[in-house]
A and B are shown apart, each in its own frame.
Chain A
Amino acid sequence: DADVTQTPRNRITKTGKRIMLECSQTKGHDRMYWYRQDPGLGLRLIYYSFDVKDINKGEISDGYSVSRQAQAKFSLSLESAIPNQTALYFCATSDLRGPGANVLTFGAGSRLTVL
């Protein structure tokens, strides 16, 4: 099994629908992240969490929300999806502190298309 598992891997939805992307990890890492990747824009941080009680906004959090249900689970929600949220979404994890905090382990990605 993968260290970082994302579901669903692919999703097509319509404008205005609520969507949840889920992430679970077996790395035992404290930090978890959600990124989106767009052609020409690279990886952009949406939200990050240091632990269950510590959640922080990233560069582009508008239109998104997250929930850290447990140390190993971090979900991303789009309350009312819009077409410009069409992108490849990645969950990632890392150690809490020290050099390992800079080394991210990524999931395989969730491709979201909003029509």
Chain B
Amino acid sequence: QKEVEQDPGPLSVPEGAIVSLNCTYSNSAFQYFMWYRQYSRKGPELLMYTYSSGNKEDGRFTAQVDKSSKYISLFIRDSQPSDSATYLCAMGDSGGYQKVTFGIGTKLQVIP
């Protein structure tokens, strides 16, 4: 079993839809939870960063972390064609190496 599981999609939604992207994980040591966005032929860029459980909102984006269920989500409201990209979840611990583990990424297409 992988430490981080993420459905690769692809996920196609109409413009304006609410998008829900999710990851599950198995390592209880993870305390830092990130979402990266990767456009085609580009490097991943940090989108959201959350420490421990709870919600964090930034504009149209909301990140949720439920450590009891080992489940994290990214919600995109009023999705736009410019949101079409691959979204990677990532998780880190606070150990000596502070390893970051990435999900495989979910490819999202927002159709105008």
Contacts and interface: CB of A to CB of B under 8 A. Distances in A.
Q: Is the interface of B mostly helix, strand, loop or mixed?
A: strand
B45 A109 contact: no
B60 interface: no
A106 B104 contact: no
A94 B43 CA distance: 15
Contacts of B16: none
Contacts of B8: 40
Interface in A91-115: 92, 94, 97, 99, 101-109, 111
Contacts of A109: 41-43
A90 B105 contact: no
Contacts of A41: 104
Interface in A46-99: 90, 92, 94, 97, 99
B104 A103 contact: no
Query: Size band of the B side of the interface?
Result: 20 to 34
A101 B95 CA distance: 11
Nearest to B92: A102
A95 B108 CA distance: 30
A99 B51 contact: yes
Q: Is the interface of A mostly helix, strand, loop or mixed?
A: mixed
B102 A106 contact: no
Nearest to B44: A106
Contacts of B41: 109, 111
Given A101-B92, A103-B46, A109-B42, A40 B98 contact: no
Interface of A: 4, 40-43, 90, 92, 94, 97, 99, 101-109, 111
Given A102-B100, A105-B46, A107-B43, 18 more contacts: A40-B104, A42-B103, A43-B44, A43-B88, A43-B102, A90-B43, A94-B100, A97-B98, A99-B51, A102-B32, A102-B34, A102-B49, A102-B98, A103-B46, A104-B46, A106-B43, A109-B42, A109-B43
